Structure 1
């Protein structure tokens, strides 16, 4: 097992900067926004809380998480919630508890497949509906699962991401409903990673699988994306209000007791405040959405003008360009034949750090990359905070300069 591609990209960026090399860091999926002072205050107040807590999490934090989901149209009781040190350990414990093989959308976040492999399972990858992301095509999943079972395999769980990492797309309600119907027919548990839910750019109904498959959907979230608290490591899982959900939660609680004992106590107190949706933090998330949406849309436009095929991002802070339309020019001038070649050439020749589509399970021959846009927000907390509160973030001088530089690099890169 190698280091996660996203974390490796972050370390490579730091190493290049330390060596004095030019770098445009568009590889690591970190929100890149300063911590809100109120969150720091709550964390500081609880810094002296050093005892172990309940495995499932302290009552106030679980109640706050339950309220968070309830206010978003998914009625939840605190007894359905289990906390963990980030959503990654929760996802791993879930896959372990469910057992069997894992169905993933293609492409999908790097850690889903890696976690399945750590458990000794080869994931089943199913393409997403055309123009969408994060959810396997229901008909293709049905065929793949039935074929796998006929061959002696045991698919039991499907993982979806709403909105998606790496594509930045939000699956349609139609696709999510079809996925839920297929999961029920195939008796698959649905794990819905909704870590980017609060960062959907346009208002409207959110297609959570818990709405259409409530008896079999486990939903996860954390504070790492909406509040940019990746290093604080606190997440939550919501289990179904059903016998299956109760049994699965208890199994995950048992696994948690052996893996992490309890979620760090100071973080739980900060999370209890954040998940209660105080107005000051609701405003911060709204500003974050504006910043992410503005810059992601501008970055997508830069890649489109360079000749790439790219769907408009709908949430999170990612763009998923496909260099397929300029494949011949890249092959002739730069010897690019795979997405790994593409990412390497952008780094070596232009100092642009991105991740190849293969890291997310895409076909190696597809010239796709994932671009994480927060690397454009600024070099200092002062610049990033100014961008956050700006009514038009892309007009900020350093962001405008970075976008112009990216466009210039891309034009040079694809020139025949």
Structure 2
């Protein structure tokens, strides 16, 4: 039977990038002792107060239809939060609620790009970005994010790739997979380009609350001159250790949100009221788990950096935020995918090949910092033992 153009555009962009992760799951199911460090699953369960809030809302009968914008209480809470954070006057009518950041990204990209457009995206990038861009019909144009710049996307590299077809710049700050954070100066320079070329800025800020000590978060939404062209997407998945609730949102200019509303109503007619009530509580109360997660992930990244620097030729990029650390494995003579498969088979540790996140990371792997302390220590020991074995084989 004939298939549609969108299925062809998205061919190969699904589970193919998660081959090592899936193979590790198979080995675990077979009883093999694998330390899984592939995906960004928080290392704590969703807070009990949020679960209780959702259950209470269910008991109150909050299982009816919502509306395309999302529940009024949640949108008001988000408007207040972003107004306080940015110093700008954000109204509830600037908010649309979606089931998670991923759905929000999909809808927003549909609103800023279409066939004949190009969207600039930093390389490396989160694994689904190419899919949400291609789904709109637009072409994704990778912009290399360089290790020598601390894995922060550079305005000059963006400028070199802007064409008459460019419609939007998709940013991630804090960044997945590298954990870098754009500075206010970075954002100002990128914003100047967006103004000069009349481009949208879409900012994925899902790791905003997992900032490590000594680092500072900035958002393009905080800059008044960008108010008519910035759309922020986020969720409670990371900040509140609640990925399974699938509760996210976008915040943007009023006219953009109004124009996007029919698409939201077509996709899902508002988020579930009982989840919206729980999310409203999460937003108004703040996260009880984010500070602890940030502290643990920062400490694990530092230990990984120190141990591998002392005992191997592997080099760790220390993140400023998020759930991951990147390891440069080029000293092994293997690319990231070959190394990840070899480590899984011979070292019993599962990590993600860097190429799953973009061509610039071909010699890197991504390590999730979200396993417990005992598993993390075991993983470090195994990675070091495996590296030493490789050194002997290559000597």
Q: Distance in 1 between matches of 2:75 and 2:343?
A: 44
Q: Distance in 1 between matches of 2:18 and 2:260?
A: 26
Q: Which residue of 1 aligns with 2:241?
A: 228
Q: Distance in 2 between matches of 1:69 and 1:121?
A: 30
Give structure 2 stretches of 5+ with no counterpart: 1-10
Give the CA deviation at 1:205.
Answer: 4.2
Q: Distance in 2 between matches of 1:181 and 1:298?
A: 39
Question: Counterpart of 1:102 in 2: which secondary structure?
Answer: strand
Paired residue for 1:112, among 129, 143, 154? 129
Q: Distance in 2 between matches of 1:399 and 1:142?
A: 41
2:111 is equivalent to residue 97 of structure 1: yes
Paired residue for 1:350, among 334, 347, 352? 347
Q: Distance in 2 between matches of 1:66 and 1:300?
A: 39
Give the CA deviation at 1:27.
Answer: 0.8
Paired residue for 2:322, among 313, 316, 325? 316
Q: Which residue of 2 aligns with 1:60?
A: 73
Query: In 2, are the aligned partners of 1:26 and 1:373 still within 8 Å (CA)?
Result: yes
Question: Counterpart of 1:31 in 2: which secondary structure?
Answer: coil
Give the CA deviation at 1:164.
Answer: 0.6
Give the CA deviation at 1:160.
Answer: 0.7
Q: Which residue of 1 aligns with 2:51?
A: 40
Give the CA deviation at 1:274.
Answer: 0.4
Give the CA deviation at 1:10.
Answer: 4.8
2:358 is equivalent to residue 361 of structure 1: yes
Q: Which residue of 1 aligns with 2:33?
A: 22
Q: Which residue of 2 aligns with 1:272?
A: 280
Q: Which residue of 2 aligns with 1:290?
A: 295
Give the CA deviation at 1:342.
Answer: 1.9
Q: Distance in 1 between matches of 2:81 and 2:39?
A: 27
Q: Taking structure 1 as reference, are residues 27 and 204 closer, same or farther at Cα in structure 2, changes over 3 Å only?
A: closer
2:189 is equivalent to residue 172 of structure 1: no
Query: In 2, are the aligned partners of 1:163 and 1:315 still within 8 Å (CA)?
Result: yes
Query: In 2, are the aligned partners of 1:80 and 1:246 still within 8 Å (CA)?
Result: yes
Q: Distance in 2 between matches of 1:92 and 1:132?
A: 29
Q: For each residue in 1:265-312, what CA deviation from the matched residue of structure 2 results, as whole angstroms up to 9, or x when unmatched?
A: 22111100000035xx3x422112111211122223334342223321
Q: Which residue of 2 aligns with 1:390?
A: none
TM-score, normalization by structure 1: 0.83
Q: Taking structure 1 as reference, are residues 362 and 74 closer, same or farther at Cα in structure 2, changes over 3 Å only?
A: farther
2:345 is equivalent to residue 339 of structure 1: no
Query: In 1, are the aligned partners of 2:231 and 2:250 still within 8 Å (CA)?
Result: yes
Q: What is the aligned length?
A: 373
Q: Distance in 2 between matches of 1:9 and 1:40?
A: 32
Give the CA deviation at 1:145.
Answer: 0.8
Q: Distance in 2 between matches of 1:398 and 1:135?
A: 30
TM-score, normalization by structure 2: 0.88
Kindly report the root-mean-square deviation, in angstroms, between the aligned alpha carbons of the 2 structures: 2.2
Q: Taking structure 1 as reference, are residues 259 and 9 closer, same or farther at Cα in structure 2, changes over 3 Å only?
A: farther
Give structure 1 stretches of 5+ with no counterpart: 240-244, 378-395
Q: Which residue of 2 aligns with 1:385?
A: none
Give the CA deviation at 1:113.
Answer: 1.0
Q: Distance in 1 between matches of 2:36 and 2:215?
A: 32
